[in-house]
Structure formats: C-alpha cells, structure tokens
Amino acid sequence: MSQLSLAAARLLAGITAGITAAIAAAIAAAIVAAAAPPVQAADANAGKTRAAQCAACHGPDGIAVLPEAPNLAGQVEGYLVKSLKDYRSGTRKHEQMGVMAKGLSDRDIENLAAYYHQLPAGGRGAAR
C-alpha cells in the first residue's frame, strides 16, 4: 500500500469511527429521552377534580359509600397506581372498575393516586 492510500485508509477509518460514535451518541440520547420523560410531580389537585367521578362509590373523602367498594383515603400511592393500571389493562378484572379505568391516562392515574393517598385514612374528621 502506498503512503498516500495508507493515509487515506486511516482517514476513512477515523471518519467511520466518528460517524459510528455520533450515531451511538444519538441512539443513546434517544433511549435516555424515551426512558426518562421530564419528571413531573403528580398533581393531587388535578386528581381531586378527576375524583368527582369516583365519589359515587368511593365517597367524597375516599371513604367508600358503596358496600362493596374499598376505601381509598390514605392508601399507598404506588398501590393505587398499580391497581388502576391493572384494571385498565384487564390484568385485574372488575366490571365497574374496568370501565372507570379505561378512560384514565397515566397522568390521570398518578394524579388520582396522589389525591387519595394524601386524604386521611379515617375520613376527613378523623385525622385531627
């Protein structure tokens, strides 16, 4: 190989490596962006607004008014999120809750969970 073509080959290899690195960096950035959407804290106030449609069964304070409905007030937040996602996906089956959860976005679910979690477990009058 002549000196010239050797230099050209080295240059080409360098460019290829550079492009590969650039592509790898772009892919890595895309993965990071996909895996970590901008972190937004759950909004209990928005959850409260959404919870109007839950109150008929789970009560305005998260203390159930329907005999077969569970209390939600003070419940562990992650459990509420999981339950609602499971009803929505059908992993957990319950006719009424399946219908209710179908209309909720991930964000709605997080907000509802934050709202019910911060309500006093014994009802509004009990926590003070």
Q: Which residues bind ligand HEC (CB under 6 A)?
A: 53-54, 56-58, 66, 68-70, 72, 80, 83-84, 94, 96-97, 100, 112
For residue 125, the 8-state DSSP code is T
Minimum distance from residue 57 beta carbon to ligand HEC (Å): 3
Minimum distance from residue 35 beta carbon to ligand HEC (Å): 26
Biggest alpha carbon distance in the chain?
A: 90
Minimum distance from residue 122 beta carbon to ligand HEC (Å): 16
Q: Which one, 42 or 100, has the nearer CB to ligand HEC? A: 100
Q: Which one, 53 or 89, has the nearer CB to ligand HEC? A: 53
